[in-house]
Chains A and B, each alone.
Chain A
Amino acid sequence: MGDTLKTLLMIAWLLPLFGFAVEILWGPRGDRRTTRWPAWMAVACIGSGFLCSLSALLIWGSGTDWAVLQSHDSHDAGHAAPSDTHHEGVEPQEHPAHESAQQNPIRPTAPVRANDAARWHLTTAADGHASDAHQNAHTAAGHTDSPSDSAASSHGQVPLVYHGTIYRLAAFGSLILSIDYYIDSLTLVMFTMVTLIATCIHLFAIGYMSDELTDEYVDHFVHTSDGGHLHRQGRFYRFFAFLSLFCFSMLGLVLAGNIFQVFIFWELVGICSYLLIGFYTERHSASTAANKAFIMNRVGDFGFLIGLMVIWTWFGTFQFSDLFASLPRDDAGRVVTGEYGEVALALPDGSSKQIPYTLLVVAGLGVFAGCIGKSAQFPLQTWLPDAMEGPTPVSALVHSATMVAAGVYLTGRFYPMFVPEVLLVIAYIGAVTLFLAATIAVVATDIKKVLAYSTISQLGYMVLGLGVFGWAAGLFHLITHAFFKSLMFLCSGSVIHGCHHEQEMTRMGGLRHRMPITAFTMLVGVIAIAGLSIPGLIAFSGYHSKDAIVATALAFIQANPGHFLLFLLPLLTAGITAFYMFRLWFMTFAGEPRDAHVYDHAHESPWIMTLPLLILAPLAAFCATGGEDGLLYRLLAGSEPNYVAAGVSSTASGLTLPGHHAIHEVHSTAGTWALVAAIAGTLLAWVLYGTKAVRVEDMKRQMAGLHRFLTHKWYFDELYDALFVQPVHQVARFFAWIDRTLIDGIVHFAARLTVLASRWDRLFDELFIDGLVNLVGRATFSVGRSFHVVQTGRLRQYVMFIVVGVVALFAVLFTTFPR
């Protein structure tokens, strides 16, 4: 099975690369510029990728008899296990029907596994052999000789993981860089999600980007010096080529089996993001936004590199499986530390090594710094709103659903390497981000900017969820968010397209009459993200996933009361989220038209743009149906690191990380609170923007200070400008001055001196050296010439020379040869 999965996912991964190559090489020639074939090519590639991913998921599921789904509810899995030694809680027994299936060791805590796990070990071992054989074939072909391919069940990290090496790039001493794969249910779900959303967005983009299908594209946002607009050739093919490249990079990131490979594709998605943000490269705002995104990501990547260095220095490997196995954890999931706070690593080559605990923290924080940059978390969040300069499909795909979620994905993937202190930092970063971004979203008037801040805020939720030990909750929200946020971005794209590139909500209103499909699907997305539900009857995806996070946060602060902000902020923000999302919907689609011109020209988008909306809307609404008993959550939770379920109590730093049981106990409480907050936010939005009861302008005037603070995005850009940009400018100016006066002076003096010296030198050269060289040259040349004298062309003479030569050789021979 491992081989099948690997092949399918590799096809899904490499097809977009192929598409990219074809589009970028064949696209720009001749009349192909103005045809839609690059788009269909890209759709075909990513669509086939989706089919491959989906079938991989299904194969994986049927291969495991959907064991992850049958396994008992996550929160009591650890309890009902026969030999639960470390968690003496009351067994809730809520789902007795599942009791037998619960024996299945798919999510075993460490001590449980021994006997029940045998079956799975057999399965995976057999597959491991198959892939081993495959691996050997590779070895024979000279690709790699690393025998690392094996199913990872041996150390019981995760239930069903396939990992191995696809291609070995290079080996520097013991440092081996390779393209690996690491396939578990998280990988499969991510693949399916990414390819599905990407397919929808590709389709949408065919409509959205159709104005590029011309040789004479007029960019109304670029003013030329003569007062006109920029005219340029259309770049339809290029857009789809970049999208394809992005899909390849993103899928490579998800498939990656080692942290270095993640880094490679991390940078690749970064460059794709750069290219796509700056797609309208002539617009000054677009090119600076692209630069900003790229540079701010580099700040995070600097941390990432430091993390990589620590990992390489101490662990000597980049492979996930080896890394996870190296870090010793006791039965309770605590990282085992020695007397002086050192950790004895069990390295893959069998040896042991002591690593200071602080370095583990540094490694974790370093890698997470990369995630901060990529997922636009505080304090590197400012690039994402600016990234909205890219075309809207890009915002939907790259800057909401997939790439920015890559940081969260990596945090989840690398989870076993994060020690509790790092998790706490992660939690706080997430909490601060989600609150901060949500407050800014409240005052934003650009429809895409609202969504951008909402994305940051929701990413903060995910990060918070992961930080407070809700591994599955965080990733659960990642998937649901991907669906409803891409939906909302596409809706906003549809609005922008329908309103002829008008993005200001203050000029919209009442558009639901003009574009009913967009309005309706947007409403679905808004309800989903707001987390509204009618308990017991219907609940959209956002309700479930946000609930999971809030519940985890509540459990966390119950165990660690000092960190109450970690619950308070997300709860508050749940309300704010509902408020600003409904504000967006009311301002755009409800009420009276604010600008008659915009309203009169608005129209519903063509079918190719509304079709993806109609595909995504049900997914956004119902992908999480069943909540934590549902398909999606179970699939994800199947990949959860095994010590998470039971929770970790009283770590070295005094934190208690809540287990599933603790979370479940507070679930309904948290859910109620969150729902109340959401409903409150919704009502407030309705009151302010749905009815005319309160004049928003008056409120703005009354809270002018707060409003200014928020519209200036908490003055982060100004702060960074003052903290980093201006000092750098100052220093640069200073050095420029030094350069110009001091260095240049010396250089000029030296130059003048050199010129003087070289004048003399030249004289010397010309008279003496050249004379000598010319003499030698002329001499050899004339010697060469003189050989012509012998070469007379007279035959008689030639024959004479034979005789002369032979006789001369005789003479030499008899005088010199030994007697």
Chain B
Amino acid sequence: MFSQLIQNLIDHTVETSLGYFQAELWLCGTIVVLLLARLFSLDRLLPGNVLALAGSVTAVFAAWSQLETVQAEPGFSETFFTGLMIQDLFSVYFRLFLALFLVLTVALTILSGIPDGEDAPDFYTLLLGATIGMMIMAGANNLLMLFIGVEMASVPSYAMVGFLKGRRTSSEAALKYVVYGAGAAGVMLYGISLIAGVLGTGDMSLLADRIRIVAEGGVAGLGDAEVRLVVLGVMLVLVGLAFKLSLVPFHFWCPDAFEGASAEVGGFLSVASKAGAFALLVRFAVSLSGPSSAALMSAFGIGLGVIAMVTMTFGNLAAYGQSNMKRLLAYSTIAHAGYMLMAVSAMLVMQNSPQAGALGQEINACIGGLLYYLAVYLFMNLGAFAVVALIRNYTFTEEISSYAGLGRQNPVLAVCMLFCLVSLVGIPPFGGFFAKLMIFGSVYKAGDLHWSMYLLLAVGGLNTVFSLVYYLRVLKVMFIEERPADSRPIRLPSLERAYVSLLGAFVLLLGCAPLLADGLTLLAGEAANSVFSAAVTSR
């Protein structure tokens, strides 16, 4: 009988699980090849960056084929690896998103020449490994996988931040990041143990149900000692995720780490790790939401809303005084995490309201908006970091003042930067505006249910105005100020120009090309839908 069990497990793993896991497997395989090539000194023959690019492109195709199959079957949701992971459109969306982003990042590193050939296998091993971790975060269906995913994403990130070995700031940043991350991981692990201990399971699809069993009278409240423990655990897990998302007050690592890390790594961390963490947050929040825990989760939603307000206000205001572009973008990243958190907050408030049944469409729209935001954010933030990286290669500095007069000297680069920054502010023809509009729209709808959502909306709007100041300051330097006569000229090769133009074009097109934008909106909506349908079916 036991052997039967083992046989079943193997069969299921081979037939189903590995198939669902193929994008990650391709990346794993790439890592192995990278390391082997290094081991047998083949890295001259097979340069690390080429291997990494090939591997990540393969992962894109794998994820794309999964998207095709999953999309063909609406409401598809299936757990694999004995329930540790889940395969639905949501996880596939993120897998594709991350794989695509990986390709863009690898391409950027190839163009900007960081890392050099010597370090390439190491760097790409870390990069690919972190991406695998983020993919796991997006597909986690178990608290254990949640933790493993977060750690697997974090640990390579620490090393990547410190990758500029000779530089003191880089090492310092990495150290801060490691220690801070370790603290956050400890807190999160503690929270997981509390939840799993009280509820007796780590399976996220069972959490809501277990809370109902544990709670006295079927309605969970803090008066109940066991529920109180669970709530504590949830909060601690959220602290762990808040660290990944760099939400105030767990953001301290972020500016230091970004400043110390190279711009390429900064771009990667600011987009990818945020995307994975949001996927996880949405899954976690949805899995906890149930009829019995409605009041609690609604309170969590409002709490997240408050954190969102604080985060974006802090991020935007703190960005004012920055003179280093990477640091400025780090604060901008914090602020954007706040914007995106608004969507999760609105979603929790709506889903845990008595009218949840009637609000299905709007709840869906929250997460759809979040996914759209992430997709646009990918292009605009990566675009901004890419410009920083490319300029650094010529001027060897990342100070904003060194950008003076670039608008005239290198219009392509400057206009791409303009697209990215203006889109980050959220001004109409660009994708950032529509992403923001979708999230704000969702929060406005949630305002019917709780007044604090209106406050959240107002603060969000106000913050958009705040953010204008520091983004425009960069643009002013680029376009209005004269380029100092003694500064080094920046003449990009055509490939690099094409790269930033591509990103800039996507930022613009996601806003004003209906075909692209509608397609993405539709996909995001479907993906959002799959999270909820999974939650419903498991309930």
Contact = CB atoms under 8 A, between A and B. Distances in A.
Interface of A: 780-781, 783-785, 787-788, 790-791, 793, 795, 798-799, 801-802, 804-806, 808-810, 812-814, 816-819
Contact of A791 (B235, B252, B295): B252
A802 B187 CA distance: 9
Given A817-B299, A818-B299, A819-B223, A802 B318 contact: no
B299 A785 contact: no
A781 B321 contact: yes
Given A809-B239, A813-B231, A813-B235, A787 B250 contact: no
A802 B231 contact: no
B295 A818 contact: yes
A799 B252 CA distance: 9
Contact of B222 (A780, A791, A814): A814
B250 A802 contact: yes
Highest count of chain A CB atoms <10 Å: which of B175, B235, B319: B235
B372 interface: no
27 contacts: A785-B320, A785-B321, A787-B317, A790-B252, A791-B255, A791-B256, A791-B318, A793-B176, A795-B175, A795-B176, A795-B180, A798-B252, A798-B253, A801-B249, A801-B250, A802-B183, A802-B239, A805-B239, A808-B249, A810-B235, A813-B232, A813-B303, A816-B299, A817-B231, A817-B299, A818-B295, A818-B296
Nearest to A780: B317
Contacts of B252: 790-791, 798, 801
Interface in B262-306: 295-296, 299, 303
Closest 9 A-B residue pairs measured CB to CB?
Answer: A784-B317, A784-B320, A787-B318, A805-B249, A819-B223, A798-B252, A818-B295, A819-B221, A817-B299
Highest count of chain B CB atoms <10 Å: which of A781, A791, A816: A791
A43 to B, nearest CB: 38
A781 B314 CA distance: 11
A783 B317 contact: yes
Nearest to B253: A798
Nearest to B242: A805
Contact of B183 (A784, A785, A799): A799
Nearest to A781: B320
B245 to A, nearest CB: 14
A802 B180 contact: yes
B179 interface: yes
Contacts of A793: 176, 256
A818 B299 CA distance: 8
Interface of B: 175-176, 179-180, 183-184, 187, 221-223, 231-232, 235-236, 239, 249-250, 252-253, 255-256, 295-296, 299, 303, 314, 316-321, 466
A784 B223 contact: no
Contacts of A816: 299, 303
A806 B190 CA distance: 12
A437 B13 CA distance: 96
B455 to A, nearest CB: 15
A78 B253 CA distance: 98
Given A799-B179, A816-B299, A819-B221, 8 more contacts: A783-B317, A793-B256, A805-B249, A806-B236, A809-B235, A813-B231, A814-B222, A819-B223
B466 A819 contact: no
Contacts of B318: 784, 787-788, 791
A414 B247 CA distance: 74
Nearest to B250: A805
Given A795-B176, A817-B296, A784 B187 contact: no
Contacts of B321: 781, 784-785, 788
A812 B235 CA distance: 11
A116 to B, nearest CB: 54
Given A813-B235, A818-B295, A795 B179 contact: yes
A60 to B, nearest CB: 42
Nearest to A802: B183
Contacts of B255: 791
A781 to B, nearest CB: 5
B180 A806 contact: no
Contacts of A780: 317, 320, 466
Nearest to B307: A809
A793 B168 CA distance: 13
Contacts of B239: 802, 805-806, 809
Nearest to B175: A795
Contacts of B319: 784
Nearest to B180: A798
A814 B296 CA distance: 11
Contacts of A788: 318, 321
A810 B191 CA distance: 13
B513 to A, nearest CB: 16
Contacts of B235: 806, 809-810, 813
Highest count of chain A CB atoms <10 Å: which of B253, B316, B318: B318
Contact of A818 (B175, B179, B187, B221): B221
A799 B296 contact: no
Contact of B184 (A787, A802, A814): A802
A784 B256 CA distance: 17
B226 to A, nearest CB: 14
Contacts of A791: 252, 255-256, 318
Contacts of B314: 787
Highest count of chain B CB atoms <10 Å: which of A808, A816, A817: A817
A570 B443 CA distance: 82
Contacts of B303: 812-813, 816
Contacts of A785: 320-321
A802 B314 CA distance: 17
Contacts of A804: 249
A791 B324 CA distance: 15
Nearest to B178: A795
A790 B251 CA distance: 11
A165 B183 CA distance: 72
Nearest to A814: B222
A783 B250 CA distance: 19
Given A801-B252, A810-B235, A817 B222 contact: yes
A815 to B, nearest CB: 10
Contacts of B179: 795, 798-799
Contacts of A810: 232, 235
A799 B452 CA distance: 31
A791 B184 CA distance: 18
A809 B303 CA distance: 9
A316 B466 CA distance: 55
A296 B217 CA distance: 91
B99 to A, nearest CB: 32
Contacts of B221: 818-819
Nearest to B256: A793
Contacts of B232: 810, 813
B512 to A, nearest CB: 20
Nearest to A790: B252
Highest count of chain B CB atoms <10 Å: which of A784, A793, A806: A784
A788 B314 CA distance: 11
A806 B255 CA distance: 21
B232 to A, nearest CB: 7
A814 B222 CA distance: 8
A784 B313 CA distance: 9
A541 to B, nearest CB: 57
A785 B253 CA distance: 18
A798 B176 contact: yes
Nearest to A806: B239
Contacts of A806: 187, 235-236, 239
A804 B250 CA distance: 10
A804 B239 CA distance: 12
A792 to B, nearest CB: 9
Nearest to B182: A799
A384 to B, nearest CB: 48
Contacts of A802: 180, 183-184, 187, 239, 250
B450 to A, nearest CB: 13
B216 to A, nearest CB: 12
